[in-house]
Structure 1
Amino acid sequence: MAENLYFPAVMPSEEVLALAREVRLLILDVDGVMTTGYLDYDANGEVVKSFYVHDGLGIQLLRQVGIPIAIISGRNSKVTAARAKDLKIDFLYQGAQDKGLALSQLMQEAHVTPQQCAYIGDDVIDLPILRAVGFAASVPNGHVLAQRAAHWVSNNSGGMGAVREIAELILFAQDKLSLAYDAYLNDEHTPKLDIM
């Protein structure tokens, strides 16, 4: 069973697992959460961002078990829009300088309550959402105030597996991790090697 494969560096408390159990929507910040937070510029002045492929699979796993994904970012970025399209992100809010307002609009659109929302944020601009949602998470490379507002700080850094870690935590709390990984772990789907 996949639940038995989940051994985080620090096992979440029962309180954290109880909060994660209620999640019906995962909301992500981008810079510093889905990316390392570094902004690289090309020769034309366009911002180039790197996204971690393991995080992408974590997002897909949540969507496969019926948990939609939203992005609320303070920055407008074509790169973010392209990544959101690639991952089939359900809701995309960019240029959201007032993230509390964006959260209110998103909850109406997604038909969820604050208690049903999880958010991963890394800086003070994220505090209105971190303080409002039922399950707030941050990253070890995040601002100390964001970390203090969070129920859980991931072991992995932003842009380096934090999203995947928290996606697995939510799946684990909801007893859906084995379902999410079944297609990958089921021996019937594993190609057999003819070893002589």
Structure 2
Amino acid sequence: MSELTYVERAARVKLMIFDVDGVLTDGSLHYGADGEALKTFNVQDGLGIKLIQEAGIQTAIISARTSPQVIRRAADLGISHLHQGGHDKLTPFNALLEKTGLSAEQVGFIGDDVVDLPILARVGLAVAVPNGRKEVLERAHHTTTAFGGRGAVREVCELLMHAQGTYARVMAQFLV
């Protein structure tokens, strides 16, 4: 049996999981006068997440860092599965599989750093951003052309919709 292409893998995704720093953001941390770390999110990435939800794909965030901005962003986007804190991302990933009843092959994950490797090694669709660490890039099924925080998430969302044949239906509301 031949190895599946990344498009064939994308066609099977029922749940897409996003890392935050370096994926939903460009990885920069800006500190305010009070010491609070600030993050910048891309609005086109956010719309991409909303569009795949309309297409029937569940969404989740698993992040090693803890941030109130991520809680707010997840709420704004209707992302119901959120786990923050700790470099062990595999435990919340396994809990998410149990909660959703999905197999690892039905899940996609986009990451950029070595803490993402345990999940990337398990999912059906492992995606990296081009500025990710070498170890991540070597193990990904697909690497986006856009960088983290600069459209990589939107690119993955559109890939999923094209692979699953839902792009035209979901985009019809805008292409009048």
1:175-190 counterparts in 2 under 5 A?
175-185=165-175, 187=176
The aligned residue for residue 88 of structure 2 is 98
The aligned residue for residue 110 of structure 1 is 100
- Which of 61, 64, 74 is 2:54 aligned to? 64
CA distance in structure 2 between the partners assigned to 1:40 and 1:107 by the alignment: 34
Classify the secondary structure of the residue corresponding to 2:172. Answer: helix
Deviation at 1:96, TM superposition (A): 3.5
The aligned residue for residue 142 of structure 1 is 132
CA distance in structure 2 between the partners assigned to 1:129 and 1:157 by the alignment: 20
The aligned residue for residue 151 of structure 1 is 141
- Which of 127, 138, 144 is 2:117 aligned to? 127
Deviation at 1:102, TM superposition (A): 1.3
Could you list the runs of 5+ residues in structure 2 that have no partner in the other structure? none
Classify the secondary structure of the residue corresponding to 2:60. Answer: strand
Deviation at 1:40, TM superposition (A): 0.5
TM value normalised by structure 1: 0.87
Paired residue type of 1:83: R
Write the deviation string for residues 123-169 of structure 1: whole angstroms up to 9, x where unpaired: 00000000000000000111111111110000000000000000000
1:47-62 counterparts in 2 under 5 A?
47-62=37-52
CA distance in structure 2 between the partners assigned to 1:128 and 1:106 by the alignment: 14
1:70-81 counterparts in 2 under 5 A?
70-81=60-71
CA distance in structure 2 between the partners assigned to 1:79 and 1:36 by the alignment: 14
CA distance in structure 1 between the partners assigned to 2:80 and 2:138 by the alignment: 28
Contact 1:72/1:96 (<8 A) preserved: no
Aligned pair count? 173
Tell me which structure has the larger Cα radius of gyration.
1
Write the deviation string for residues 48-95 of structure 1: whole angstroms up to 9, x where unpaired: 000000000100000011111000000110011110111110200011
Classify the secondary structure of the residue corresponding to 2:34. Answer: coil
RMSD: 0.9
Classify the secondary structure of the residue corresponding to 1:93. Answer: strand
TM superposition outliers: structure 1 runs of 4+ over 6 Å: none
CA distance in structure 2 between the partners assigned to 1:153 and 1:47 by the alignment: 28
Could you list the runs of 5+ residues in structure 1 that have no partner in the other structure? 1-13, 188-196
TM value normalised by structure 2: 0.96
Classify the secondary structure of the residue corresponding to 2:116. Answer: helix
Write the deviation string for residues 9-32 of structure 1: whole angstroms up to 9, x where unpaired: xxxxx7111100000000000000
The aligned residue for residue 153 of structure 2 is 163
Paired residue type of 2:60: A
Paired residue type of 2:38: V
CA distance in structure 2 between the partners assigned to 1:177 and 1:19 by the alignment: 16
